[in-house]
Chain A
Amino acid sequence: MQELIKYGKKIVKAGLAHSHFGNVSKRVGDQMLISTTGSMLDELEGQIVTVPVDPASPDELDVIASTEVNVHRVIYKATSALAILHGHSKYAVAMSMLYEPGKEQIVPEDTESIYVLHEIPVVRGGVGSDELARNAATALRDHKGIVVQGHGTFARGATVDEAYVILSSIEHACTVKYLVDNARRRISV
């Protein structure tokens, strides 16, 4: 729980999401700790609940867990992830909206991001929807992080720390790519 509180603060401090825009979870066996709906990522003390991972086992606390609780569940079921961080990182959101239809990935420009992330899938689906859960989980079987179009980044890891690295790497990659694309456009004009 303390890890989630610590990284919630780091996400906001690093500008990877504004306070309300995201959620965090950590898997512990067949249960997961997850932030509550409407909670602020930099004030998660007392705002984390424990619910079952199994999507077929709804729990009363789902009501106050993050709206994305089922997305986290399906990702945990489909992957070996032990932590998931989700933030509405602004450059990742912008890049997911700028990309032309049909091209369902963002390809980083900088060497570090190419090395860590390869390409970043862009998936679709409404907030907390079954469609989003399916698409995110499928993409995360092959990638460490994804961007939901017009919404935000999901990053997975074996630890909360690792998921944080992915979350910040995706935002870094998207920021650099946005700046480079912009600069190229200006030069070509």
Chain B
Amino acid sequence: MKAVYGWKNKILRIDLSKGEVDRFAPDASLLRGYIGGRGLGAKIVYDTGRVDALSPANLLVFAAGPLTGTTTPASGRVSLSTKSPLTGTIFDSNCGGSFGPELKKAGYDALIIAGKSQDPVFIEIEDDRVYVKPAEKLWGKNVKETTSLLKDKGSVACIGRAGEKQVLLAAIMSDAVHAFGRGGVGAVMGSKNLKAVVVKGTGHVDISDRAEFLKHKKSIDRLLIASPTISKGLSVFGTPFLMKITSGMKILPVANFQKAEPDIYLNPFFGKNIMEERSPKRRACYSCPIACKREDKEGNELPEYETIGLMSANIQNPDYSAVVEANRLCNDYGLDTISVAGVLGCYAEIRNKGISPAELLRFTRMIGEQEGIGEQLGWGAKLFSASEGCPEKSIQVKGLELPAYDPRGVKGLGFSYATSNRGGCHTRAYLVAPEILRKPKAIDPYTLAGKAGHTKIFQDRFAAVDSLVVCKFVFFGVGEEEYANILSAVTGVDYTSEDLMLVGERIWNVERVYNLREGFSKDDDTLPERFFEKKVNGRVIDREEFLKTRDEYYRMRGWAENGVPTKRTLKRLGVI
């Protein structure tokens, strides 16, 4: 058998309905053409056909990449693909921690979970040994307790009570603090009566050319140190360094994206202030020199920028400590913090009042427990606002609540929300880098001019990055060239940066045709009305310019005027 480097050339498949476990070698073209992670997951989920998100037929695909389990900088992430019960779109989510490296070391590129168990179960994997075990004693417990009961068996990915109850904002938590967030992926796991997956691997990942690998690794490490965003921002303050920048640019959402000037004093939420007040410890994912995670003296995870941004001014909460506690509650219930904050912003606007610190904690618990108003809030902003008769107050795209950047002040980022395959998300194109942090090259955030092309290129780029699977943050200092080089050294397959871009474009189109098959159309590639109608800080998105940019974007993608990829494009990309 020909030696395989980087990949394990093996996928583990577990059918919970039938109680069957099997392993298969994927077609070589699947791994080369989709790499792994998000790309591999998207292709597998697409090939499954149309399913109801919370039915046994929906899949959960945990997929690592060829770099996972090596010591490539920031390669500790792992991707999860499924159909989202919140958005109805194809969905991927990736997280750090050690779940991905353990899966690879256990000998698998991916784990596919299908079906539904009759009773609660958890999956235990140790190399070739795979068990589906009863989880009655775990069911009903939250994430921290579940993880502590299972962690001796390996890296744990589990749901809390929110996932068990199939709350549409539920996340899957890895090693207790790393979230497969967004899109209600935890509800999919709950719908399968699957409490947790524990994986331990004792193997290793073979590298084709170790000398080249070490050379490129050194080069990446050097570039990471030279990047100001990393060395002066993420490594010093963690992601909260963004609070001062976005509030200075007046793009921090205030009162459910209604205005620019906050009603609260923002200083306690700034990264420097948090550092001085809490003296947090740095924490890193597997093989990551950036170490952007922060935890307090007791070892509790401190919230990231998005959580702070959306749980402060956006809901008019002045208390940083309440955000810390709400973040802890979300992690423990297994809830997505962005969506929880987004639906609370919507609730606050509908009720015409801010959310007090005590309410923030109470509502978070109620969403996790599906109690009282928490049940409706747990539907997400789109369904909740519709149930209240005011759909215009939900700030979401394709059902996914927006992150903490007002698109009127970062128009390319806003355009990328509109055209995102998984709904209102900043990480699809990650134009935060050029529009806010001015890297790799500063671009004007206040115009849509040129943003059709920027969006396409960055979407393709990060679809490939999510397939390696590598943390997006390294791309503040490193280009796809360096990762193409290290990918070639690891796999022995010659990849150029253009090859990576082509893989990214292929993945983007697979996701697009999945969504079109689900009934999404051009009309869904838009933003909430208030961004076209209401000025904030003197800025609004010009509807005509937005529509022209969208047409231009479709042309650049090789799609028809109605946003459908042409046969020629799909053939060029090898999708059909």
Query: Does the CB pair A63–B441 fall under 8 Å?
Result: no
**A61 and B438 in contact, given A37-B228, A67-B228 (Cβ under 8 angstroms):** no
B493 contacts partner chain A, Cβ-Cβ < 8 Å: no
B5 contacts partner chain A, Cβ-Cβ < 8 Å: no
CA A49 – CA B442 in complex, angstroms? 15
B350 contacts partner chain A, Cβ-Cβ < 8 Å: no
Query: Does the CB pair A63–B248 fall under 8 Å?
Result: no
B218 contacts partner chain A, Cβ-Cβ < 8 Å: no
Query: Does the CB pair B441–A38 fall under 8 Å?
Result: yes
Query: Does the CB pair B228–A63 fall under 8 Å?
Result: yes
B244 contacts partner chain A, Cβ-Cβ < 8 Å: yes
Query: Does the CB pair B241–A63 fall under 8 Å?
Result: yes
Which has the most chain A C-beta neighbours within 10 Å: B228, B243, B271, B439?
Answer: B228
Query: Does the CB pair B442–A36 fall under 8 Å?
Result: yes
B245 contacts partner chain A, Cβ-Cβ < 8 Å: yes
CB-defined contacts of B232 to chain A, threshold 8 Å: 58, 62-63
Query: Does the CB pair A61–B245 fall under 8 Å?
Result: yes
Query: Does the CB pair B244–A60 fall under 8 Å?
Result: yes
CA A63 – CA B477 in complex, angstroms? 12
CA A36 – CA B442 in complex, angstroms? 10
Query: Which of A96-123 touch B at CB < 8 Å?
Result: none
CB-defined interface of B220-264 with A at 8 Å, one 1/0 digit per residue? 000000001100110011000111110010000000000000000
CB-defined contacts of A38 to chain B, threshold 8 Å: 438-439, 441-442
Main secondary structure of the interface of B (DSSP, over half): helix
A1 contacts partner chain B, Cβ-Cβ < 8 Å: no
B415 contacts partner chain A, Cβ-Cβ < 8 Å: no
CA A63 – CA B237 in complex, angstroms? 11
B272 contacts partner chain A, Cβ-Cβ < 8 Å: yes
**Taking CB as reference atom, which chain A residue is nearest B271?**
A60
Query: Does the CB pair A60–B228 fall under 8 Å?
Result: no
Query: Which of B259-286 touch A at CB < 8 Å?
Result: 270-272
CB-defined contacts of B442 to chain A, threshold 8 Å: 36-39
B437 contacts partner chain A, Cβ-Cβ < 8 Å: yes
Q: Within the complex, which residue of B229, B272, B438 is in contact with A59, where a contact is CB–CB below 8 Å?
A: B272
A64 contacts partner chain B, Cβ-Cβ < 8 Å: yes
| Smallest CB separation, A88 vs chain B (Å) | 17
Give 26 pairs: A residue, B residue, CB < 8 Å, sorted on A.
Answer: A36-B438, A36-B442, A37-B439, A38-B439, A38-B441, A58-B232, A59-B244, A60-B233, A60-B237, A60-B241, A60-B243, A60-B245, A60-B271, A60-B272, A61-B244, A61-B248, A62-B232, A62-B233, A63-B228, A63-B229, A63-B232, A63-B241, A63-B437, A64-B245, A64-B437, A128-B228
| Extra A-B contacts (20), CB below 8 Å, given A64-B245, A64-B436 | A36-B438, A36-B442, A37-B439, A38-B442, A39-B438, A49-B248, A59-B272, A60-B237, A60-B242, A60-B244, A60-B270, A60-B272, A61-B245, A61-B248, A63-B229, A63-B245, A63-B437, A64-B437, A64-B438, A67-B228
| B residues lining the A interface (CB < 8 Å) | 228-229, 232-233, 236-237, 241-245, 248, 270-272, 436-439, 441-442
